[in-house]
Structure 1
Amino acid sequence: MKTISFAIPCYNSAEYMDKCIESILACGGAQGTDDIEIIIVDDGSAKDNTAEKADEWRARHPGVIKAVHQENGGHGQAVNTGLANATGLYFKVVDSDDWLDRRAMEDVMAYVRSQVGRQAPTDLVIANYVYEKVHENTRTVMHYRNVFPEGREFGWADVGHFNPSQYLLMHSVIYRTELLRGMGLQLPKHTFYVDNIFVYVPLPHVKTIYYLDVDMYRYFIGREDQSVNESVMMSRIDQQLRVTRIMIDAVQLPSGVAEKRLERYMENYLSMMMCICSIFLRMINTDEAEDEREAIWAYLKQHNPDVYRHVRRSVLNMGTNIPTKAGRAIGITGYHVAQKIFKFN
């Protein structure tokens, strides 16, 4: 068994995938890469030589790198394929235009290696991520030192208060592989924003956590075609709505969560998802978009009325759903203020 499997979903990624792969190979450190596995998932790339590059990397590093080719199924299906092919104790997704910090990974690898052979390895390992706005030459570190204890394994009862800008993203988490398999995690095909499902749905299955206050993951942001680009998000609002409905259905709050602090965190995460849906539908500003906004709130109310009451009255959503043109303007303005403060998009 490998210590950790890194899955890299690649779709027409030839321009930047090398940097990503090289950063993961460097994670081996002095111990080398024998216990590391890199699974390059070529998701039906057709516009460049991603497939050939994947095969070249596999040939250069046999026993470390796998190249898996599939028909285009989207980011979620590429993650599914990576998980299906993983042999590591732990599983980490790294998007092909992002990279891992070598110094930070020395600490991360030391910890995950310490879990090999344990009867009950830690379920979830968390570290910081960094928004890398390369074109602006700026970076913003997203840490959790005010939320999680350091230097020891802990559970949800030990977790502190998340600030409004602090959420667990795919970038910051490393799951125990068998936890994901055991709960039957499957992400939908041909759908963007499935990383929200990846970091939300497994949480009730997590019993033990370890946090390292190191800047592990470098999240490239700023390309015009990126899925978090504002205009792109509006064009793909149907997929944001689909992901949000899947999250509503996947975990029934509060009955599906044993720990109160986890319940509160998941409720806040759902509030954020509902806020994003509402804001972008109001930006689209058509009668159809307004119908969709009302429909997603009706869906939450029907499927989880207790959470609906809390989420609808949350600070995030009171302003985003005020009726009338003035209410729409207030909601959008609030979103753009948050955008500047938290440095996303």
Structure 2
Amino acid sequence: MNKILSIIVPSYNTEKYMNDCVGTMLDERTLDDVEILIVNDGSKDNTASLADALAEKYPNTVRHINKENGGHGSTINRGIAEATGKYLRVIDGDDWVDTEQFVEYIEALKNSDEDIIMTPFQHYYEADKGKDNVDISYPVGTYSFAEITDSVFKSYQIHSTTFKTETIRNIRKIREHCFYVDQEYVFYPLCYAKTVKILPNHVYQYRIGTQEQSVSMTNMVKNRKMHMSVIFDLIAFLSEESIDPTIRAFIVKRVGMLARRQIEIFLAMEDKSEGRSECKSYLKKLKEKSREVYDAMPGSRSRLFRFNSDLAYAVFYGR
């Protein structure tokens, strides 16, 4: 039977989350409609055996793809290559879906043909078990993506997006052995995708606050070169691809926010001298590679760093 949706589940040492993650997608009402691709990225725990058990129990729905470690991007690249569904989305192995919302979303996909499907999602805070909604500030319906860029500026994320598989197969390869590549995954299709449908279902449940997360500042300092690589990948994408001008401006603005985040990472380094040196080199390269992204970094702190990075460090550190 043809599947309406392929779900990539990137999994590295996710044994404690596996059943909770995949289990929320194994509803009797949708088993024939979805394909769940558990892409085990060389895990050292029991992720592989749990994935095998799920694939054995649900052979028409779950597939276990076992591969050598290559990072988040490699799991997405492999999942894109293996997917057979009309649509494709990513649910990370430590997250999950709201099952009732998921069932409604699958039904809506059956009547969809847009390049992108957007759904609101929820943050789940590990520390206090609280939740909040990340909504889409635009009515449910079908639009050209260019007409809604302002309204989805914050909500256009990996957690909210589903792509036509035939569309996303056209994108350039996502960087491997690297964190933060979800930004490449969501922006690369925008040189091909034209239409978007907004649905009301809060499908994705995004877990925040685990020590393993790459977005904690401690890990961002450790992995700062990876974050910087993604910024320059996106700048190359902007310079090499033909993109609708409105959508291009949207991407530039978002990459500008990533570029500002890189400054914040340097500021968080314990070795202030090293941080200052790396930041100065980074800003020089950024200005050379893309003046528009350099100028798009928001905020007064970014303006001061553009004016004089040494002065900015003196202001923020008194030295």
The alignment's TM-score, normalised by the length of structure 1, stands at 0.84
Gap change, CA 1:144 and 1:329, over 3 Å in 2? farther
3-state SS in 2 of match to 1:170: coil
Report 1:254-293 matches (<5 A): 256-260=242-246, 262-284=247-269, 285-293=271-279
Question: Structure 1 counterpart of 2:255, which letter?
Answer: L
Question: Structure 1 counterpart of 2:49, which letter?
Answer: E
The question of whether the paired residues in 1 share the 8 Å contact of 2:276 and 2:313 is answered with: no
3-state SS in 2 of match to 1:40: strand
**Which 5+ residue runs of structure 1 have no aligned equivalent?**
116-120, 331-345
The question of whether the paired residues in 1 share the 8 Å contact of 2:121 and 2:205 is answered with: yes
Q: Distance in 2 between matches of 1:113 and 1:252?
A: 36
The alignment's TM-score, normalised by the length of structure 2, stands at 0.90
Report 1:306-317 matches (<5 A): 306-308=292-294, 310-312=295-297, 317=302
Q: Distance in 1 between matches of 2:280 and 2:186?
A: 26
The question of whether the paired residues in 2 share the 8 Å contact of 1:7 and 1:93 is answered with: yes
Q: Find 1:41's aligned residue among 30, 39, 42.
A: 39
The question of whether the paired residues in 1 share the 8 Å contact of 2:144 and 2:194 is answered with: yes
**Which 5+ residue runs of structure 2 have no aligned equivalent?**
none
Match of 1:141 in 2: 133
**Alpha-carbon shift at residue 162 of structure 1 (Å):** 4.0
Percent identity (aligned): 26
Q: Find 2:143's aligned residue among 147, 150, 154.
A: 154
Question: Structure 1 counterpart of 2:230, which letter?
Answer: V
Match of 2:22 in 1: 21
> RMSD of aligned C-alpha atoms?
2.3
The question of whether the paired residues in 2 share the 8 Å contact of 1:101 and 1:217 is answered with: yes
Question: Structure 2 counterpart of 1:161, which letter?
Answer: D
Q: Find 2:186's aligned residue among 199, 206, 211.
A: 199
Gap change, CA 1:44 and 1:157, over 3 Å in 2? closer
Match of 2:170 in 1: 182
The question of whether the paired residues in 1 share the 8 Å contact of 2:252 and 2:292 is answered with: no
Match of 2:79 in 1: 82
Q: Distance in 2 between matches of 1:324 and 1:160?
A: 32
Report 1:43-62 matches (<5 A): 43-46=41-44, 48-62=45-59
Gap change, CA 1:135 and 1:320, over 3 Å in 2? farther
Q: Find 2:230's aligned residue among 238, 243, 249.
A: 243
Match of 2:122 in 1: 130
3-state SS in 1 of match to 2:16: coil
